[in-house]
Amino acid sequence: MSLGSGWAAIKREWSQRQLADPQWAFLWEAPPAGEWVALDVLASGRDAAHDRLLAVAAVRVAAVRVAADRVLASQRLELNLAPTGADAAGQADADRTAMAQLLQFIGPRPIVGYYLDFDLALIERAAQPLLGTGLPQPRIDVSALFHDWKFRQLPPYQQQGAVTIDLRWATLLRELGLPERESATPLDHAVQAGLAFVVLRHRLGLA
């Protein structure tokens, strides 16, 4: 076991000990083989500590067979968490219901997305009343996979020192041959992140 994986296992065990409600213990189980969930969020701003989660979309990704992974767009979840005008207690109940749906949909599957830290920070804040701790699922950021793929294409002399690789969303989609939508919704972004993950898994030899 590497140092990194050992530390991840310790953090995972610690977070399970902090679990507030045992009904969510299944999130710490082994994930179904060859299944992931790609997601994206809409927020009221870019401050994960203070801004509000407004919407979440998630789709399942499955390794159907060798060289034929699929984004299962029919297995999707779209949640609207925009303020309803209810009082604080009513809004909190609505948020908990939405987060319960999201956690049930994701289960123990690894979570895929683009610059996931922001998205998951918002989701963890919203899910805190249910879990009492952070999300335990493994995280796969397609921007990191894209960086690895582009880095491998550089000649050895360019792999030395600080290497700058363009990780912008439009660049990632263009390089992977995926379409970019002008007015994309969270569901569009979740599907595109899932497709990017599928392509990069094969190009990196992870499939």
Q: What is the pLDDT of residues 32-64, one digit of tens each?
A: 999 999 999 999 999 999 999 999 999 999 986
Q: Which helix (H) or strand (E) holds 181?
A: none
Residue-wise pLDDT tens digits, 95-120: 999 999 999 999 999 999 999 999 99
The domain of 164 spans: 3-203
Can you give the CATH number for the domain in which 92 is found? Answer: 3.30.420.10
Q: How many domains does the chain have?
A: 1
Q: Are 143 and 172 in contact (CB under 8 A)?
A: yes
CA 17 and chain centroid, separation: 23
